[in-house]
Structure 1
């Protein structure tokens, strides 16, 4: 994918640079040298226009050089929706963000308990030293290694990445719809991630301006006017009258109808394709679990539940042993014997931590 983009940028750079250089040679030839024309016959006004044209051509050359920065940065920036591996890369990024969030919480919990970072097992020694230096600086206002804003910002980024993964996954599952219009057709090219407009003949100037003003660009390689395949592309297509669907609907209405059809089709899948659920038991029961003994759970036994959660720990059934189980009946008091995991066969007390 990136090779094609780089090749396209290189072609554009070479074409624009050649035109700019030819323009520069043409500007240089407009006014003869003063050594040839002489001082008395030298065209001063014409020379001023030549200098202005040179300045304009030089600014254009600087803009063209900016294409080199685009070429160098291709594939080095954020995760583009054009990338076929976008969802996988976002999931990897999400995993890293969540790990960082758990680490920051664990370090703060350790500092809150011990009032020092010495011996903290959640970060390597060199990072702990940097964190100590940051805490000693005048700009570090809170009495905790990782400030509240750092946790909040990271949490917001986690939500943003999750939303983007959900959006891209839905687009991939539901897809997009194309249509025909008077004089051409529109295709949703999922492979190129582009909404492409194919005209039978060259569109008039008014149509071309409408396409440009709504984000569509001409692609000589594809032979189509196109923009990135998103929901916004359909909203933009609503404003280009020349590509209105033959059905009389708006492009956005066609896409909404397509989404509804896909959702209905998903709900109508045969029941045998649905995952089998566990058959409910005849009676509601509750169970009390206690943290197991052993080195693996030694550090968890004497910590309050809220501190365990703040440190990034989660209730894991494998760390608990069943100590009591009985039928659940109305009026039955549940005593809190120890931090334990209460579970029921239905949703009444399932996955509730005491």
Structure 2
């Protein structure tokens, strides 16, 4: 399953949680109404009357159910927000199938923005151009005419920190692209060292360790500190594949603790 598929599955799971919470909220609301349906609207508690205790209990049940309904409604809203956040997450991970393509596109867009900001600043500062020519030149760069009018009229330029931050994004994306291209150029491989199976899954940006039993506490601690997590589904310890994780595997396989039988 690709990261995109996992992302879609997670969003769907959150929506299912939200739908279930909505159903519980509706059921609780109906229970709240049913608890007092036999009491006339606006009927006060008749203190000292034989109906007083039943009336109070009915109100308590109604209030409790209503609070539960509100809580479930809030929970439904929370899970819907989670689903939307997952669906709108357009971060690029180097293990994605389309990471190289998307990173190249991102770099091109950021580079174009950098050139646009630098060009706009140069135009606004130009002393040899009329305001009309400056506005036309800014529009030609892709800046809207209302914004161009404002920039020229008020001598507004793109501040230096915007250029610096955008340039940092370009450099970060280039580094990420280099890693993504390196991953795509490598083939997945599997090998065994002293009954320990290692899978280097470059296609998924994961490295996995399969022990014949439960590794010793010292080994488990090292793996956790090194970013490895136990996967119940796969029955292995896995981590993002990088030089650090591969070096840790070399260390672990050369100094493996004896397995014990206490489970994972």
Contact in 1 for aligned 2:200/2:208 (Cα 8 Å): yes
Among residues 148, 152, 163, which one is paired with 1:131 in the alignment? Answer: 148
Q: Tell me the equivalent position of 2:92.
A: 79
Structure-to-structure mapping, 1:1-80, within 5 angstroms: 1=2, 4-5=5-6, 7-9=8-10, 11-13=12-14, 15-17=16-18, 19-20=20-21, 23-24=24-25, 25=27, 33-35=35-37, 39-41=52-54, 42-43=56-57, 49-70=64-85, 72-73=87-88, 77-80=90-93
How many angstroms apart in 1 are the aligned matches of 2:182 and 2:112? Answer: 25
Tell whether 2:133 aligns with 1:114.
no
Cα deviation for residue 79 of structure 1 reads 2.6
How many angstroms apart in 1 are the aligned matches of 2:106 and 2:11? Answer: 31
Among residues 91, 97, 103, which one is paired with 2:104 in the alignment? Answer: 91
Q: Tell me, which stretches of 5 or more residues in structure 1 are unaligned?
A: 239-243, 251-354
Contact in 1 for aligned 2:184/2:203 (Cα 8 Å): no
Cα–Cα, structure 1 residues 100 and 199, in superposed 2: closer, same or farther, change >3 Å? same
Tell whether 2:163 aligns with 1:151.
yes
Structure-to-structure mapping, 1:215-294, within 5 angstroms: 216=229, 223=234, 229-231=240-242, 234=245, 245-248=252-255
Among residues 157, 166, 178, which one is paired with 1:166 in the alignment? Answer: 178
Cα–Cα, structure 1 residues 39 and 225, in superposed 2: closer, same or farther, change >3 Å? farther
Relative CO higher for 1 or 2, CA cutoff 8 Å, sep ≥ 6? 2
Cα deviation for residue 126 of structure 1 reads 7.0
Cα–Cα, structure 1 residues 201 and 28, in superposed 2: closer, same or farther, change >3 Å? farther
TM-score, normalising length: structure 2: 0.57
How many angstroms apart in 1 are the aligned matches of 2:194 and 2:29? Answer: 45
Report how many residues are paired. Answer: 228
Contact in 1 for aligned 2:196/2:212 (Cα 8 Å): yes
Cα–Cα, structure 1 residues 177 and 15, in superposed 2: closer, same or farther, change >3 Å? same
Q: Tell me, which stretches of 5 or more residues in structure 2 are unaligned?
A: 40-50, 215-219, 258-264
- What secondary structure, in the 3-state scheme, does the structure 1 residue paired with 2:178 have? helix
- What secondary structure, in the 3-state scheme, does the structure 1 residue paired with 2:199 have? strand
Q: Name which of structure 1's ranges 160-169 and 64-73 shifts more when overlaid on structure 2.
A: 64-73
Cα–Cα, structure 1 residues 224 and 7, in superposed 2: closer, same or farther, change >3 Å? farther
Contact in 2 for aligned 1:97/1:158 (Cα 8 Å): yes
Q: Which has the higher helix share?
A: 2
Cα–Cα, structure 1 residues 215 and 201, in superposed 2: closer, same or farther, change >3 Å? closer
Cα deviation for residue 249 of structure 1 reads 6.0
Q: Highest Rg: 1 or 2?
A: 1
Cα–Cα, structure 1 residues 107 and 228, in superposed 2: closer, same or farther, change >3 Å? same
TM-score, normalising length: structure 1: 0.45
How many angstroms apart in 2 are the aligned matches of 1:34 and 1:122? Answer: 69
